[in-house]
Each structure stands twice: as C-alpha cells, then as structure tokens.
Structure 1
Amino acid sequence: MASIRSGNKSVLLVVDVQVNVVKGAWEAPRVIGNVALSVKRARAQKVPIVWVQHADDDLVKDSPGWQWVPELIPAADERLLHKQFNSCFEHTPLDEELAKLGVTHIVLAGCATNWCIRATAYGALERGYDLTLIKDAHTTKTLELENGMKLEAATLVEDLNIAMTWLSYPGRKNTTVAAEAVEFYGEGGKRL
C-alpha cells in the first residue's frame, strides 16, 4: 500500500523532451510549445521544476540527439536528473528530491506518452502522489508492429489522457488538464 502524502505542494516534472525523442513525434511543435508554456507558468509562480533526461544505447548521453530541444532549457537553479529506465522513479533520486521539496502533487509533461510518461504517471500514483497529466503537453510516435498493425500516436496520447482521468486510487487524486489551465499549489495547498 502506498504512503499517502499529506499536503498539496506541486512540482512540474518535465520528462525526456530531447531532440531524438521528439523527432518525428505526433504534433511535436505544438506539444513542445505547451511544455514550454507550462515551464513558463511554473517559473512565474515559483513552482519547482524537475527535469528528467533519458539515456540508453539508442540515446547516448551527451550526443546531439540526447540534448534538450532548443525551446526547453533547464535554468541553473532547477533540478536535473538522469535516468535509464522508463519510470522517472526507477534508479533515480526523484523520490528523495520530491521529499526535500515537500512535494505531494506532480504535474507531468514530456515524452514519450506510451513509455516514460505512462510509467512515471503510474509510478507517481503508486508512491502516493497526486498527479495532474498535462493532456496537451505529451507526445509519442506511431508504433508499427511486426504484424503490420499500427498504433497511432494520437490514439496512444488519448488513451493515457482517458486513463489518467478515470483511474481511481485510494487517498490520491489524478486528472488531466490543458497547459493553459494548469493549477499549481504552494505551501499549505494554496493555489498559486
């Protein structure tokens, strides 16, 4: 059973908006713009931002494709974590960083919907965090399966948006919201 976290302090978690991750992704320019809008709003409201950057055999650390997209650059005072697994919680200090910040509510954006965003969303809920998925600030690529079947990116995005609206966990809240309507919370659960 998850430890339910008391309070309601937000963090914006920006996941894997890297050059080769978004290259060829569904509506990437629009989604990157919505992630950038979310970052701008979080910074204006002094909400902490945690950036998570993926590396593996196909996405080599420090390579040009591993870099953040030019529209999104972490500020010097914002936390940056590196990961090698889909969930931002696996083999990273994310949980510890969130505890230091007193975070109970994760606002989530980034790539790729069906891999790292899905795994991180479920990982957050399973660890007792409230979760808001920014429904127009995550994307992925269409999957072409060996049998010739295609899983369209737009469908994968909509599937996760629906799941995050209708899932039910005891003592936790989860929802989706558009980037322009995200509400962040500060100390004491006050809307910022």
Structure 2
Amino acid sequence: MATVRSGNRTALLVVDVQVGIMASAWNREKVIAQLAHVVSRARQVGVPVIWVQHHDDELPRDSAAWQWVDELRPPSDEPLIHKHFNSAFEQTDLEGELDRLGVTRIVLAGAMSNWCIRSTAHAALDRGYDLTLLQDAHTTQDLRLSEDRVIAARDIVTELNAAMRWLAYPGRVNTVARAAEVELVAPGRTEAP
C-alpha cells in the first residue's frame, strides 16, 4: 500500500502544454485559457505551480514543437520537470520537488488526457497524493485506432473525468473540478488516517 501523505499543501501541476502537443488538441483555446486562469489564481494564493515538459524521439528537446505554447510560458522561478515517459513521476525529480514543497495534494491539468494526464494521475494516487483533475483544463487529440475506428478526443476527456470522479484509493481523496471553481487550498484532512 502507498504511504498516505499527511498534511494539507497543494501544488498545481501543468503537464505538456507544448506547441507540438497542443497543435491539434481538442478545445485548445479554451483549455489554454482555463490553464492560464488557474495558474494566475494559484500564484495569487501562494500555491506552487510546477511545470512538466515532455521530450522523446518525436518531440526532441529544444525543437520548435517542444517549446511551451505562446499563451502559457513558465517563469524561471517556478519548478520545471523534464520527462521522457508518460508519467511525470517516472525517472524525474517530481516526487523530490513535491516533498521539498511539502505537497500532499496535486491539482492536475494539461495534455494529453489519455496518456500523460492519465498516467500521472494514477502515479500520484499510487504514491499517496490526493488528486484533483481539472475537468475543463486537460485535452488530447482524436485517437485513430484504424481506418474506420476513431475515439473522439472529447470522449477521451469525458471518460477520464468520469474515471477520476469515481476511483477509490484507501486514505486518499480524488476529485474532479472546474478550473474556475477548484479550491486551491486543500480541503479535507490534515493528517493521514
């Protein structure tokens, strides 16, 4: 069983909002606007914002596609995690950064819903963090399974929102909230059960 983390400190985790990833993402402009809004709110109330940036063979580091979207760029004084796998926890220093900040709850947003957001959400819960997924601040692209079979991006986002609402992990709280309404100061417990 994962260690359930004691405390009540939140961080906002913004994942992979990069030019190449967001180029054909569903609801791109709305998602970026929601992200910009919640990032601003987090900064106003002193909630740390942690940025995660992906690179791999299809998205080489320092390429134009690897860069942050123009509408949303992290400042140099906020933590930046570079990742090579879907989960922001795998072979990165994310957990160390969260521990350094005393974080027990992650508010999660960004791209791609079916890959990096899903795997990071499960990894966070597996590691004992509480999790809130921002239902209107994550996105993906249509998933083409074959010539005549496509899962629409909107359906992928909807399914992940439903899954994160109904998952149950012992001693952890996982929820879904709208970016404009999310409580950035962690509600609920202050001590591990």
**TM-score between the two structures when normalised by the length of structure 1:** 0.95
Query: Residue in 2 aligned with 1:172?
Result: 172
Q: State the SS of the aligned residue for 1:70.
A: coil
1:19-30 alignment to 2 at 5 Å?
19-30=19-30
1:67 matched to 2:93? The reply is: no
How far 1:147 sits from its partner (Å)?
Answer: 5.2
Query: Residue in 2 aligned with 1:112?
Result: 112
1:130-183 per-position Cα deviation (integer Å, ceiling 9, x unaligned): 000000000000011125211000000000000010000000000000010011
Between 1:122-131 and 1:143-152, the stretch displaced more is 143-152
How far 1:185 sits from its partner (Å)?
Answer: 1.9
1:130 matched to 2:98? The reply is: no
Amino acid in structure 2 at the alignment position of 1:17: V
Are the counterparts in 2 of residues 9 and 189 from structure 1 also a CA contact under 8 Å?
no
Identity score, percent: 56
Are the counterparts in 2 of residues 135 and 178 from structure 1 also a CA contact under 8 Å?
yes
Are the counterparts in 2 of residues 12 and 47 from structure 1 also a CA contact under 8 Å?
yes
Query: Residue in 1 aligned with 2:161?
Result: 161
Query: Residue in 1 aligned with 2:16?
Result: 16
1:76 matched to 2:76? The reply is: yes
State the distance in 1 between where 2:73 and 2:157 align.
24
Q: State the SS of the aligned residue for 2:109.
A: strand
State the distance in 2 between where 1:144 and 1:167 align.
27
Q: State the SS of the aligned residue for 1:137.
A: strand
1:91 matched to 2:105? The reply is: no
State the distance in 1 between where 2:34 and 2:176 align.
14
Q: CA RMSD in A?
A: 1.4
Aligned residues: 189
Query: Residue in 2 aligned with 1:143?
Result: 143
State the distance in 1 between where 2:148 and 2:14 align.
33
1:35-54 alignment to 2 at 5 Å?
35-54=35-54
Q: State the SS of the aligned residue for 1:71.
A: coil
Q: State the SS of the aligned residue for 2:154.
A: helix
Amino acid in structure 2 at the alignment position of 1:76: S
1:12-56 per-position Cα deviation (integer Å, ceiling 9, x unaligned): 000000001011111100001101111011111111011000000
Runs of 4+ in structure 1 deviating by more than 2 angstroms, as ranges, are none
Are the counterparts in 2 of residues 11 and 105 from structure 1 also a CA contact under 8 Å?
yes
State the distance in 1 between where 2:36 and 2:71 align.
7
How far 1:189 sits from its partner (Å)?
Answer: 7.3
